[in-house]
Amino acid sequence: MPQLNNSNNTLRASLNLCQSVAELSGLATLLILIAVNVYAVPACENHNPNRNAYFGDLHVHTAISADAVGYDVTIRPDEAYRYAFGGIANLPSVTGEVMRQFQNPRPLDFMAVTDHAEQMGEVVVCQDSSSEGYNSEYCKVMRNSAGTNPWIMIKGIVSPFARHDKEVCGKDGQRCKVGQTKVWQETQQAAENWNSECKHTAFVAYEYSSFRLGSNLHRNVIFRNDKVPTAPVSHIEAPHDYQLWQWLASDCLDADNGCDVLAIPHNMNISNGRMFSLNYPGAWTRNAKAKMATLRMRVEPIIEVMQHKGDSECRNGLPGVQGGVDELCNFEKMEDTIFTNKDGERNVGECYEGPASHWVPHLGPSCLSRQSYARTALIEGLRQEKEIGVNPFKFGLSASTDTHNAIGGTVDEDNFPGHIGKADANVLTRISTRKGKTGGISTNPGGLIGVWAEENTRDAIFDAMQRREVFGTSGPRIKVRFYGGWEFDETLCSNSDHLAIADTHGVPMGQDLPSSSSAAPSFLVQAQADPGGFDVAPGTHLQKVQVIKGWIGDEGDHHQKVYDVAGNADNSAHVNFDTCEPIGTGHRSLCAVWQDPEFDASKRAVYYVRAVENPSCRYSQHDCISLPEDQRPASCNNGLFAKSIQERAWSSPIWYTP
């Protein structure tokens, strides 16, 4: 008999069909249909009930995105999937004359092309010389500056009343509607062309790119299968994030047509506290707020904690946060360049988060808030659950690249070709310093999303994301697992069946601890270093694994504590900056059973894992030492970004509720 396929869709369909027939024909027919519908679908050859780790990139832009066009990026969705699964990409050079060929060093297990919905139609018009809108001022700016000109942005995505350009689209907007339909169909077809069950998975997706009033509120919208709306909804049609949730619910989740979807917020680090805002426009009562929070969690089960424009896990010095300095929170803080003016002075204050704060304009990211970082948002969610009965920030942690070169998964620090076309196509452009602005040395190669799924199929991977059994990495393929329970034996790591035992007697990352009268929960924490492969050398050794705990204190402040639970934080590992050779010892794998020594059964708490590598060279240091010493720019020693980094992986959390 073929193996059991555990996809939720298959089980749901089987149970619904069985229920209908059972009412007509009795138990015998029911049993037959269970056998036919559940067991007749063979699982993948490497199907694993304890789940395999698969790595992907769910944030990839191609030549359909307006902000890739002016950087001479020509790769379309089909070519992007080809590259992701082992192909070659033709990347623009600084001069724009000779293309660079870049071979994917390490194929992904799954990927999604996520082009911006806001200007899909305009891109088609602006690249078609026969179109009436081709010679519009808007199109000239787009072709020459990748849509980053302020005039383009105000009309496109910054304004709270964003709209399509009439000169480009026509008074009735028809030219852009036709163009959007064309490229949306191209996006869907490319995903179908490259989706190969059990081998590699391609999702239909797009990016909702609201930069409303200067605050980043972007989401990547990922569909489970080929049942998708006829057109993607953008910031223009849905100016507020809650309107996006409502549209995805009405036109997909509740449409009863097989459509399933989730949205992944990213770059909360440059959102001025609005990505995890506590204000719900129009929702004034407790019940109204709870309803909105429930909708949010239905649509957004995971967030992107790391990408090309920085790390959004945590930040030191945030107001109302107790627990001391976490040095690892200084990792890839791109926003620091925005907060630093051309004279090197830092100017940033706290965000206003009172009534009507969603109408306060910003000239880009300009203030600091606890609601701009994942850790403090997770802690705030505990308070919200107590106040309104729903935790609006019960999300899993993932990562991706945000490449605008259409090269998903290109994250190696020692072989980074850039992510924004001709703008960072050589060493000098990649390590340039732009105080007060993003780009150059302030950005990084980005990260990857990891999932624990039974097999490499759309259903299995999508199910893992919905149940939040996901993790993010800053690039390396570190595997991290995290289980919580009340009866884990301290010798569990030495048991060959430890994963099955943890599954049986506990919950995996992304879930809630069950109720118990035990003194304190215990956690199984496991991490494996990047093993390398596909002609790629094994990754850097692991230094340590940590558990991060968050809770709300009696005085109402956010409390955090970082526990080292495995490895050695004082192993003296370091890097030779002249050669980028790592020095010191570490671990290929780490495992521990850890019990919270300060557990208070009366307080809500959230826990997640951070697995950390030994220090290694940042991509900018690799680029710097590739130049003769007398040709290295000042940015090679400017100190704003370290020469070495500690790559890492973050698990999704586990929650405790009294």
pLDDT at 60: 98
Mean pLDDT, residues 454-474 taken together: 98
Mean pLDDT, residues 144-165 taken together: 57
pLDDT at residue 206 above 60? yes
pLDDT at 150: 42
pLDDT at 414: 95
Beta bridge partners of 528: 479, 589
pLDDT at 192: 98
Mean pLDDT, residues 378-387 taken together: 97
Per-residue HEC secondary structure of 413-429 comes to: HHHCCCCCHHHHCCHHH
Size of the chain, expressed as the number of residues it contains:
658
Are 479 and 532 in contact, with CB atoms under 8 Å apart?
A: no
When computed from its CA atoms, the radius of gyration of the chain, rounded to whole angstroms, is 24
pLDDT at residue 159 above 70? no
pLDDT at residue 454 above 80? yes
Instruction: Determine the Cα–Cα distance for residues 488 and 482; give it in Å rounded to an integer.
Output: 12
pLDDT at 63: 95
Per-residue HEC secondary structure of 227-286 comes to: CCCCCCCCCCCCCCHHHHHHHHHHHHHCCCCCCCEEEEEECHHHCCCCCCCCCCCCCCCH
Question: Closest Cα to residue 234, out of 364, 123, 119, 76?
Answer: 119
Instruction: Determine the Cα–Cα distance for residues 516 and 503; give it in Å rounded to an integer.
Output: 17
Where residue 160 falls among pLDDT bands split at 50, 70, 90? low
| Angle, CA 578 vertex, CA 574 and CA 584 arms, to 5° | 20
pLDDT at 633: 92
pLDDT at 442: 92
pLDDT, greater one: 214 or 500 = 500
pLDDT at 534: 75
pLDDT at residue 8 above 80? no
pLDDT at residue 25 above 60? no
Where residue 543 falls among pLDDT bands split at 50, 70, 90? very high
Instruction: Determine the Cα–Cα distance for residues 281 and 321; give it in Å rounded to an integer.
Output: 26
Token look-up 């969690």 returns 297
pLDDT at 143: 82
pLDDT at 47: 96
pLDDT at residue 225 above 80? yes
Segment of 109-118, 418-427, 638-647 carrying the highest mean pLDDT: 109-118
Mean pLDDT, residues 352-358 taken together: 81
The number of helices, as runs of H, and strands, as runs of E, in the chain is 17, 29
pLDDT, greater one: 14 or 282 = 282
405-431 pLDDT, tens digit each: 999 999 999 999 999 999 999 999 999
Mean pLDDT, residues 501-529 taken together: 94
Mean pLDDT, residues 236-259 taken together: 95
Where residue 35 falls among pLDDT bands split at 50, 70, 90? very low
Mean pLDDT, residues 136-155 taken together: 65
pLDDT at 524: 98
Q: First CA to last CA across the chain, in angstroms?
A: 45
Instruction: Determine the Cα–Cα distance for residues 66 and 80; give it in Å rounded to an integer.
Output: 16
pLDDT at residue 6 above 70? no
pLDDT at 310: 96
Mean pLDDT, residues 149-174 taken together: 70
pLDDT at 161: 61
Q: Which of 92-96, 201-205, 309-313, 649-653 has the lowest mean pLDDT?
A: 92-96
Share of the chain above pLDDT 90, in %: 75
Where residue 571 falls among pLDDT bands split at 50, 70, 90? very high
Compute φ and ψ for 441, nearest 5 degrees.
-65, -15
Share of the chain above pLDDT 70, in %: 90
Are 312 and 373 in contact, with CB atoms under 8 Å apart?
A: yes
Helix, strand, coil percentages (3-state) for the chain, rounded to 5, are 30, 20, 45
Give the DSSP H/E element, type plus range, for residue 25: helix 8-25
Where residue 145 falls among pLDDT bands split at 50, 70, 90? low
Mean pLDDT (the chain) is 89
pLDDT at 41: 57
Where residue 533 falls among pLDDT bands split at 50, 70, 90? confident
pLDDT at residue 26 above 60? no
Strand segments, DSSP code E, in 493-621 are: 506-508, 522-528, 542-552, 558-567, 574-576, 581-583, 589-595, 605-613, 616-617
pLDDT at 78: 98
pLDDT at residue 10 above 60? no
Are 290 and 253 in contact, with CB atoms under 8 Å apart?
A: no
Mean pLDDT, residues 35-42 taken together: 48
Instruction: Determine the Cα–Cα distance for residues 384 and 658; give it in Å rounded to an integer.
Output: 15
79-113 pLDDT, tens digit each: 999 999 999 999 999 876 668 999 888 999 999 99
pLDDT at residue 151 above 60? no
Q: Which of 325-329, 364-368, 550-554 has the lowest mean pLDDT?
A: 364-368
Instruction: Determine the Cα–Cα distance for residues 637 and 443; give it in Å rounded to an integer.
Output: 16
Torsion of CA 451, 393, 113, 7, to 10 degrees: 40
Q: Which of 194-203, 281-290, 376-385 has the lowest mean pLDDT?
A: 281-290
pLDDT at residue 13 above 50? no
Torsion of CA 419, 422, 428, 433, to 10 degrees: -70
